[in-house]
């Protein structure tokens, strides 16, 4: 049992598992492609696009009903997010695979940071597994709760009246049992795509943020080790390796930022309105509300937001901690004054704030506060419109 758990908490196990369910693999083939099953991936994308079109048709038809419109908007935005994130992932797969390799390469040394990285990686994979369970619970509750209510109603009354928590305008009649079964099969692909794309991309971002943070800690350990054998006789005082590693790490942070910039931008833009739609379902409830799905989905959206923003905040704090460590551990008393300015250049560069951007936004705690405030403003507006036009 312990060996099985160790495999589940292995390096990128959750990410590999979820991407494999969509026909992708983080280990590219000989041609550098990560798409191993184009047919499965196309089926998931086509079914999701079809359901998105039905949601949009429902939104147009019910544009004057705020509650129904906001619920359909919630589902539509999540499908748009999944489609865009996976499209960006495929377009930038070469950069992302290279980023994974660059993060893993320094930790192959057992003597410096390897043990700590394995511990951090297991903790990260445990959180990824919990996030996957949230997404799976969202998908399962979304499908099974309406099916169970439909079967229960049919068993008690003998009337087949499908119950759905999905606000769509379908081009076929789901009151026919065989058509309803076909629609449920389509929803399996849609919900699997949501679960796997959300888990895979989001936890891969979190893993990369954890890896970059661990490399900053590893660099701090390397700095302490080298300053213990400080050599004043050398022109670089034996610290050139630290500066080379720091320059490599700065390039890695830049690579990490550019690889996930588009995905983070999509996440930030969509999640403001998505959070507003989720809150509206609580304050403006209606009949046939699937509260099991809503509870799981609320946890997913909140965790999703924390992964992107707190991950960037962790990288920034580790970079700041290293800049202070660089100043504290250098034995200035053993360095001739004429060489101080050479080290000041390195310290000044290290103390420059590390910023992970998303085009118009900077990821971090301030952006988290801004998203909550913006979602709150949208919710207040929607609630005022609902009170004015739909409660009289």
Is 220 in contact with 246 (CB distance < 8 Å)?
no
Average pLDDT over residues 52-65: 86
Distance CA 58, CA 232 (A): 74
| Per-residue pLDDT tens over the stretch 275-321 | 888 887 777 766 566 777 888 888 898 898 888 888 888 888 888 88
> In terms of Cα–Cα distance, which of 313, 269, 276 is closest to 298?
276
* Angle of the 66-91 helix axis to the 240-283 helix axis, nearest 10: 160
For residue 264, give every residue at least 6 positions away whose Cβ sits within 8 Å of its Cβ, in sequence order, or none.
205, 308, 312, 356, 358, 361, 363
What pLDDT, on a 0 to 100 scale, did the predictor assign at position 5?
A: 43
* % of the chain with per-residue pLDDT over 70: 83
- Count the alpha carbons within 13 Å of 321 in the hemisphere toward its beta carbon: 15
Is 151 in contact with 181 (CB distance < 8 Å)?
no
User: 297 exposed, middle or buried (CB, 10 Å; 0-12, 13-18, 19+)?
Assistant: buried
Only one residue has tokens 């000044």, namely 348
pLDDT band at 237 (very low <50, low <70, confident <90, very high): low
Give the C-alpha distances (Å, rounded to integers) separating 70 from 134, 139, 199, 243: 22, 19, 24, 53
Higher-confidence residue of 45 and 73: namely 45
pLDDT band at 366 (very low <50, low <70, confident <90, very high): confident
Output the pTM of the full model: 0.88
């Amino acid at each position: 049992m312990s060996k099985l758990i160790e495999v589940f908490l292995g390096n990128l196990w959750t990410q590999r598992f979820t991407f494999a369910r969509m026909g992708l693999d983080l280990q590219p083939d000989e041609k550098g492609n990560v798409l191993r099953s184009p047919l499965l991936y196309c089926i998931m994308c086509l079914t999701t696009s079809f359901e998105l079109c039905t949601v949009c048709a429902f939104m147009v038809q019910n544009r004057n009903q705020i509650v129904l419109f906001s619920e359909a908007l919630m589902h539509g935005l999540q499908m748009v997010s999944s489609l865009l994130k996976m499209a960006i992932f495929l377009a930038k797969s070469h950069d992302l695979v290279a980023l994974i390799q660059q993060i893993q390469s320094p930790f192959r040394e057992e003597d410096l940071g390897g043990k700590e990285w394995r511990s951090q990686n297991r903790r990260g994979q445990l959180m990824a597994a919990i996030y996957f369970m949230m997404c799976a619970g969202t998908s399962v509750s979304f499908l099974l709760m309406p099916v169970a209510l439909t079967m229960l109603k049919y068993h008690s009354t003998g009337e087949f009246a499908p119950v759905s928590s999905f606000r769509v305008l379908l081009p076929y009649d789901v009151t026919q049992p065989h058509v309803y079964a076909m629609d449920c099969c389509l929803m399996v692909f849609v919900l699997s795509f949501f679960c796997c794309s959300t888990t895979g991309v989001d936890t891969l971002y979190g893993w990369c943020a954890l890896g970059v943070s661990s490399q900053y800690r590893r660099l701090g350990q390397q700095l302490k080790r080298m300053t213990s054998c400080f050599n004043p006789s050398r022109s670089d005082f034996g610290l050139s390796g630290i500066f080379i590693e720091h320059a490599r790490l700065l390039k890695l942070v830049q690579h990490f930022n550019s690889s996930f910039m588009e995905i983070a931008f999509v996440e930030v833009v969509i999640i403001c309105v998505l959070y507003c739609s989720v809150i509206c379902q609580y304050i403006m409830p209606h009949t046939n509300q699937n509260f099991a799905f809503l509870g799981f989905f609320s946890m997913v959206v909140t965790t999703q937001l924390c992964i992107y923003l707190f991950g960037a905040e962790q990288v920034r704090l580790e970079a700041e901690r290293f800049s202070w460590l660089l100043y504290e551990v250098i034995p200035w008393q053993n360095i001739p004054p004429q060489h101080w300015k050479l080290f000041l250049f390195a310290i000044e560069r290290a103390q420059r704030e590390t910023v992970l951007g998303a085009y118009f936004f900077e990821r971090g705690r301030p952006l988290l506060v801004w998203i909550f405030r913006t979602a709150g403003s949208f919710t207040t507006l929607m609630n005022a419109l609902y009170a004015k036009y739909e409660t009289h």
